[in-house]
Every structure is written in C-alpha cells, then in structure tokens.
C-alpha cells in the first residue's frame, strides 16, 4: 500500500493552518471575543486540530509499520531523523528569542537546564507539571506534541506486533483496548496532554481507522466491508465523544474518514466535494511543509509582534491581528518551505542513504 494518501497530506496542511490561525487569534486576545460559547470554543480551539494531528499520526504510523516490516532500529532511526533536526533548531531559536525578550519565557530561570536536558531527549512530556512547572511547553509551546509523538514512536512497533499476531480479531482488540484507555485517560489529570496515556485513545482512533481502511481496500465486497465496520466505528466514536474531551477532534476525523472510505467505494458520492478541498494544490503544499510550519509558526508570531510594538508601542490589537494574518502566515509558510527544502528533506534523505549503505 502507498505510504502517502493525498487527502491526508492535504488534511495535514489544513490542520497546520488551523493551529496557526488559532494562535494568532489567541495571542492577539480575540479568541474569547470571536468564540463566546463554550461549544464553539471547543470546536475552533487549536487543541482540536492537534487532536486530529494525533489521530492522523496513529493512522500513518500504523500504515508505515505494517507495510515496511523494518527492524526496530531502522524504523526508529528514520523517525528520529524525520522529526529531530527541525525540532532541535526551533528549540534553540526559541531559547534565544526567550533570552532576548522577544518571546515570553514560560519557565523559571532556575529550572532552565532541567528543561533543556529533558527537551533534548524529547521526553519532556513524561514529566508531570507537578514535578517541573510547565514541563511540556516551557521553551517552545508546540514542542509538547513532539514529545507525545516520540513516546508513541517508541512503543508503536511492539503494539502493532501484538495486534497483527491476533490476525482477524486485531481491529476488534484495538476497539476494546481503545475504550478502556479512554476511560483510564481521565484519571491521569496530574499530567497534561504531552503524556502518552493522556492522549493514547486518539492514537487508537487512528490505528483502528487504518485497519478499517485496509479492510475496505482489500475486500472485493467494499460496500459490505464498509457496513460491517461502521458499527464498531460508530460505537467507538460514541464512547469517545461522551467520555473524553478529544471527542471533538475524533468526530471531525470521523467525518473526513467516512468521506475517504466513501470515495474508495464510489468516487461519485457527495462526500468527494468535501475531500476535493484537501486535494487542492494549496493544501497539498501546506501538507508537505506542515511539520516545519507547526514548529516555527509561534516564533514568527512573536518576532513580528516584537517588531510591530517596537515601531509603534500603541498599536491596537486589530492591526496586529491583520498584519499577522496577511504578512505572518505567508512569511511563516515561506520560511517553512525553506526549512523543508534545506533541513527536513536533506535529513530524511541522508538517513535513507545511510541505511542503504549500512545494509549494503
């Protein structure tokens, strides 16, 4: 099976833009103004977009591992080189900007070296805030989800190994375990969302979705396959929506995923109108640079705000908002494209050549 699905790449681009716009609106102080009802806030909150990112990660990592059959060391090296170079560069940039007073520091100076040490390992999300204040996002706010991803990468091959050995009942096992984990997650309030168990149920949404997707792809009776799997998926979504706040993101993913399955069964179905958005050139390009854009967008926001307030300390929030939208988003996107071309892609390419050389 191919390792990239165009619609999912486009979804990544959409989500990265969603997080970016949310942070612009929140930092300029307009989030409560624009979204006054709690339900609306929950939908448009940037965390909802990140929750969908997590589901996508569960889906794509499951697809990658089950199709490549790599050694654990090979798989982990590839994953490390995919996320670490850009991560460490943005982390250093955030440290410098914080020390220069260009962006806010969310840590106590006495704890700085603890934060640096933990962030370098990408395990900062494992430490509860009760032991180290703001442990997951002290230096660079988006870095909390990088720790979450890394924790998932470390256990994913073992997890899928167990599921694949169970064969036909593997997806059903995933469903049952998902519901149990959703219930358990609510008991881990001393950690924030950067700890794997606190978001594990969302990874399971993605994992279970992949098994449904694979089944529909493989079965000749595709409509029958869809009908068979819609029942457990619906039950899963029900348990998610009513027991875990990540249910908003899971529900949005379910709509997207249903459209994706429908397009496989019948390309003429109405859901393809929705999916057409994610096939556009804009969102495909944003999807390619989504990781860089996600990591560096807050750096760009704070740099622009620092410059604006130096030029005009009395600048009103509306002007800041408009400048960040019409200048900040294009500037950050251009920077992310350069980052992808000169940091992300070369690192991944080097890792690939290194592995080929070692295997040869």
- Distances in whole angstroms, Cα of residue 235 to Cα of each of 59, 256, 264: 19, 17, 22
105 near 311, Cβ under 8 Å? no
Rounded Cα distance between 59 and 154, Å, is 16
Contact 86, 80 (CB under 8 A): no
| pLDDT value at residue 42 | 72
d(Cα 46, Cα 8) in Å, to the nearest integer? 18
Percent of the chain with pLDDT over 70: 82
The answer to whether 332 and 297 have CB atoms below 8 angstroms apart is: yes
Whole-angstrom distance, CA of residue 87 vs CA of residue 107: 19
Per-residue pLDDT, 87: 98
Q: What is the pLDDT of residues 29-72, one digit of tens each?
A: 988 787 777 767 777 888 889 999 999 999 999 999 988 888 99
More confident position, 168 or 264: 264
- A 10 A CB-CB count for 293 gives 27
Residue partners of 121: CB distance under 8 A and separation at least 6: none
The whole-number average pLDDT for the span 108-114 is: 93
For position 182, what pLDDT does the model report? 61
**How far is C-alpha 100 from the geometric centre of its chain's CA atoms?**
29
**124 near 118, Cβ under 8 Å?**
yes
Among 133-147, 156-170, 296-310, the minimum mean pLDDT is found in 156-170
Single pTM value for the model: 0.90
Length of the chain (residues): 360
């Amino acid at each position: 099976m191919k390792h990239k699905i165009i619609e999912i790449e486009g979804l990544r681009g959409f989500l990265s833009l969603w997080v970016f716009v949310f942070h612009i609106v929140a930092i300029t102080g307009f989030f409560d103004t624009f979204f006054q009802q709690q339900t609306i806030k929950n939908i448009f909150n940037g965390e909802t977009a990140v929750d969908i990112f997590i589901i996508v990660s569960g889906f794509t990592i499951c697809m990658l591992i089950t199709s490549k059959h790599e050694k654990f060391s090979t798989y982990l090296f590839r994953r490390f080189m995919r996320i670490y170079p850009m991560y460490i560069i943005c982390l250093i940039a955030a440290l410098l900007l914080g020390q220069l007073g260009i962006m806010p520091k969310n840590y106590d100076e006495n704890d700085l070296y603890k934060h640096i040490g933990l962030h370098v390992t990408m395990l900062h999300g494992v430490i509860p805030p009760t032991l180290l204040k703001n442990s997951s996002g002290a230096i660079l706010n988006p870095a909390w989800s990088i720790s979450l991803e890394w924790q998932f990468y470390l256990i994913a091959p073992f997890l899928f190994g167990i599921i694949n050995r169970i064969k036909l009942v593997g997806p059903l096992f995933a469903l049952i375990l998902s519901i149990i984990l959703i219930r358990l997650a609510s008991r881990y309030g001393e950690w924030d969302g950067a700890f794997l168990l606190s978001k594990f149920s969302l990874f399971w949404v993605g994992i279970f979705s992949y098994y449904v997707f694979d089944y529909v792809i493989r079965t000749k009776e595709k409509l029958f396959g869809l009908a068979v799997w819609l029942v457990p998926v619906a039950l899963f979504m029900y348990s998610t929506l009513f027991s875990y706040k990540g249910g908003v993101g899971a529900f949005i993913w379910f709509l997207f995923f249903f459209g994706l399955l429908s397009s496989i069964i019948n390309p003429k179905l109405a859901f393809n109108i929705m999916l057409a958005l994610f096939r556009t050139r804009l969102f495909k390009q944003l999807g390619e640079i989504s990781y860089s854009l996600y990591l560096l967008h807050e750096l760009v926001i704070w740099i622009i705000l620092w410059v604006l307030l130096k030029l005009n300390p009395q600048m009103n929030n509306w002007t800041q908002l408009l400048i960040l939208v019409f200048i900040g988003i294009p500037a950050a996107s251009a920077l992310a494209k350069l980052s992808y071309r000169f940091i992300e892609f070369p690192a991944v390419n080097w890792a690939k050549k290194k592995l080929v050389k070692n295997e040869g």
